Amino acid sequence: MLLAARYVLPIAAPHIIDGAVLVHGDRIVEIGELEKLKASHPDEEIRDFGLAVLMPGFVDLHTHLEFSSMRGLVDDLPYSQWKMQLLDKEERLDSEDWEDAARLGAAEALQSGITTIADISDSGASARAAAGAGLRAVVYREVSTMNKREVPDVMARANEDIAEWREYGDPSRLTVGIAPHATYSCHPEVYRQAAEKAISEDLPVSMHVAGSKDEYDFVKYGSSRLAVDYRDIYSGVDLGWLPTGVSPVRYLDQWGIFEVPNILAVHCTQVDDADIEILADRDVAIAYCPRCNAKLGMGVAPLGSFLQRGLRVGIGTDSPASNNTLDMFDEMRIGLLIQRSLSGYEPHLIARQFVKMGTLDAARALGLDHETGSLEPGKQADIIAVDISHSHQIPTLYPYSTLVHTANQENVVFTMVAGQVLYDSGRWSLLDIDRIQARAEEMRVKLRT
Ligand SMILES: [Zn+2]
């Protein structure tokens, strides 16, 4: 099939005007000008999107699909209070609710042009939903306990789940990893054992790191609401915690978790230059979640310093529970504008860089850039079409600016993963959207009352 549009953005190469992408099976075969490809492949079926952008699907570098029913549930509270409220509401959901919430998230991801997710999941619903919807996914099994004696049990259950979750999908699309939740919910032994397991079994790791001032104060000084209220609810027992006197990044570094080769740190808003040195030395990839960080008052990640030090950085949404949509256009736009507000016109703060961070750079952060993240012959056909023909978008002079500064998730008209069309003009090929939406309404009632 020949996919065609006014603009084709390979990402790893300059954009093509009036371009096309030839797809055979699950792979991209050729990219170039439409007229030339038509001439060399006269029998190929053509799908022309007109005034649109064809580009690789977005890689959402951090999300939790199973939290999608919590959209808009707890707004206007700072991070630690938001987290406590969510924990309280979670009790009301049964296992089928988690499944359908994750399906709702998967449907929104596809409709937003996301073709790959990096998801931290507790229940496994994210892995099942991603596989059922056809998404490419790295799903990390969350582990947490502050009680050292519970660590062997927690890790044993995680081992079983990781083996089981791998069975949910084709290994070419689904990878399962492990995710120590956060410094305030994991005993150091969790980090040590997770590191050992990940290194010996070649598992990817993702974890929330230095995401809020509350977390920073908890680790360094033993204070903040996370040290008191949250831990009372979370552990149910009085566990001692001695202030460490160091930053979250330096604290984590002591437990060997950054030695894991495929490791992704999420947020990193509370880091200084010495922390960034550690992250760079250990080749830690970073998920930049600008909208979630802004909405929950978590701080602003020092993106310029990350990029200057050569860290791999991509963009994450962090689920509708926090930000409230899986809209990568909003993430790129707000992510750029926040940084420019703070530091003025820096060379890296341009639309093209943010489109790259939403696609190829995020794939590099996951070690998946040999398969996805750009349009190149031989790569998987993970391709989206974004309609840019609306009155607020024309004339289009530079497609990267149009995407970042005028587009939104509803402009995505077509989403393909591995050559399979999963979303096309309001229709999902593998999901029953009417049923999912009806279930979302049922969950809304449960969560609101
Ligand atoms: Zn998260």
Give the distance (Å) from ligand 1 centre to CA of residue 1.
37
Q: In whole angstroms, what is the distance from residue 94 CA to residue 442 CA?
A: 12
- Interval between CA 320 and ligand 1 midpoint (Å): 10
- Out of 336, 366, 396, a domain closes at 366
- Return the pLDDT at 85: 80
User: 50 C-alpha to center of ligand 1: Å?
Assistant: 37
Q: Is 415 helix (H, G, I), strand (E, B) or coil?
A: strand
Token look-up 């996951």 returns 366
Do residues 133 and 430 make contact, with C-beta atoms less than 8 angstroms apart? yes
Q: Are residues 352 and 260 located together in one domain of the fold?
A: yes
- Based on the fold, state whether residues 143 and 91 are members of the same structural domain: yes
pTM: 0.96
CA of 152 relative to ligand 1 center, distance in Å: 24
- Statement to judge: residues 234 and 152 lie in one domain: yes
Distance (angstroms) between ligand 1 centre and the Cα of 432 equals: 27
Regarding whether 292 and 196 lie in a shared domain, the answer is yes
Structural domain span for residue 13: 2-54+381-433
Q: Are residues 91 and 238 in the same domain?
A: yes
Angle CA 219–221–223, to nearest 5 = 90
Instruction: Evaluate whether residue 166 is within a structural domain.
Output: yes
Say if residue 236's pLDDT is above 60.
Answer: no
**pLDDT for res 90:** 84
Is residue 122 assigned to a domain?
Answer: yes
CA of 120 to the centre of ligand 1 (A): 7
Looking at the fold, whether 104 and 171 belong to one and the same domain comes out as yes
User: Position 332: which residue type?
Assistant: M
For the beta sheet containing 313-315, the strands, ordered from the edge strand earlier in sequence to the opposite edge, are 58-63, 114-121, 136-143, 174-180, 205-209, 263-267, 285-288, 313-315
Condensed to tens digits (0 to 9), the pLDDT of residues 46-88 reads 999 999 999 999 999 999 999 998 898 878 877 778 777 887 8
Structural contact between residues 26 and 19, judged by C-beta atoms closer than 8 angstroms: no
Which among 307, 336, 366 is the end of a domain?
366
* Span from the CA of 16 to the centroid of ligand 1 (angstroms): 36
User: For position 386, which CATH number holds?
Assistant: 2.30.40.10
Q: How many domains does the chain have?
A: 2
Q: Residue 62 Cα, ligand 1 centroid: separation in angstroms?
A: 6
**For the chain, how many residues are written?**
449
Residues 39 and 64 occupy one common structural domain: no
Ligand 1 centroid vs 35 CA: distance in angstroms? 45
**Mean pLDDT of the residues in the chain:** 94
Which stretches of 282-398 are DSSP H helices? 290-295, 303-308, 328-343, 351-357, 360-366
Please give the distance, rounded to the nearest whole angstrom, from the Cα atom of residue 198 to the centre of ligand 1: 20
CATH number at residue 235: 3.20.20.140
